[in-house]
A and B are shown apart, each in its own frame.
Chain A
């Protein structure tokens, strides 16, 4: 498999680095698809950030939806989240690795481009991230009130249009 960090161009390469920081900031050492999504939603990421904002997914909206997803998941087990002030963040060190959901997103994004016989674009990684039918990202989209299939369709149109990135 192509090195995931460089598979979708320079902008996405930077986003992988930012996703590592997202994972660390949340106290973990595994980058999952939601960390990639948050990194790509950053305003500094021109292509993906503006595409996501066009569909109502600003970084703020995503951050809030991720928090609500965690609250909902814990509530199923009858548990309340730790108070924010008690959570130790940003102190885990050591290598950060790609988790299963992030690797699946990379594979799906690469497949989306290769099936259409065209170069990979940054937005292909978004297609890969939103291809998952189950897991944290589709839950976050549902909580944010975004239709995953409509979003995928719009992203596929964008990547097919060949808009310069």
Chain B
């Protein structure tokens, strides 16, 4: 293999770094969009269905964070 091509800012490294950047961005986007939906009155089940995950998974991942963010989660037991 040509070592000169293995550079931290080379094209291949840019491609691999884009994977990390997209994963991080997807996480942030999920936080943002789940919070928006819950603020607009969506239920945990609806958010979970839209994301293609279980209600338990979305609640576990975002419940505490949304309470800290001041989202009113009462009457969201569905």
Which residues of A pack against B, CB within 8 Å? Answer: 27-28, 69-70, 72-74, 76-77, 79, 81-82, 86-88, 91-94, 133-136, 138-139, 141-143
List the A side residues contacting B22 at CB < 8 Å.
74, 77, 79
List the A side residues contacting B57 at CB < 8 Å.
none
Which of A73, A81, A88 sits near B17, CB closer than 8 Å? A73
Tell whether, in the assembled complex, residue A72 and residue B14 are in contact, meaning their CB atoms are under 8 Å apart: yes
| Given A74-B22, A74-B25, A93-B64: A27 and B31 interface contact (C-beta under 8 Å) | yes
Q: How large is the interface on B (under 10, 10 to 19, 20 to 34, 35 or more residues)?
A: 20 to 34
What are 9 A-B pairs at a CB distance below 8 A?
A: A27-B31, A69-B17, A73-B17, A73-B18, A74-B21, A79-B25, A88-B31, A88-B32, A136-B17
List the A side residues contacting B14 at CB < 8 Å.
72-73, 76
| Given A134-B6, A135-B8: A93 and B29 interface contact (C-beta under 8 Å) | no
List 5 tightest A-B contacts by C-beta distance, closest first. Answer: A73-B21, A138-B8, A73-B17, A76-B18, A77-B18
B15 contacts chain A at the CB level, 8 A cutoff: yes
Contact with A along B47-78 (1 / 0, CB 8 A): 00000000000000000110011000000000
| Given A74-B22, A139-B9, A142-B9: A91 and B65 interface contact (C-beta under 8 Å) | yes
Given A27-B27, A27-B31, A76-B15, 18 further pairs, Cβ under 8 A: A27-B24, A28-B24, A28-B27, A70-B21, A70-B24, A72-B9, A74-B18, A77-B22, A79-B22, A82-B25, A87-B28, A88-B69, A91-B31, A93-B68, A94-B64, A139-B8, A142-B8, A143-B9
Total A-B Cβ pairs within 8 A: 72
B65 to chain A: closest CB distance in Å? 5
| Given A82-B28, A139-B8: A92 and B65 interface contact (C-beta under 8 Å) | yes
Which residues of B pack against A, CB within 8 Å? Answer: 6, 8-9, 13-15, 17-18, 20-22, 24-25, 27-29, 31-32, 35, 64-65, 68-69
Report the separation of the CA atoms of residues A85 and B18 in the bound assembly, to the nearest whole angstrom.
22
List the B side residues contacting A94 at CB < 8 Å.
64
Tell whether, in the assembled complex, residue A76 and residue B17 are in contact, meaning their CB atoms are under 8 Å apart: yes
List the B side residues contacting A139 at CB < 8 Å.
8-9, 13, 17
| Given A73-B14, A73-B17, A73-B20: A88 and B9 interface contact (C-beta under 8 Å) | no
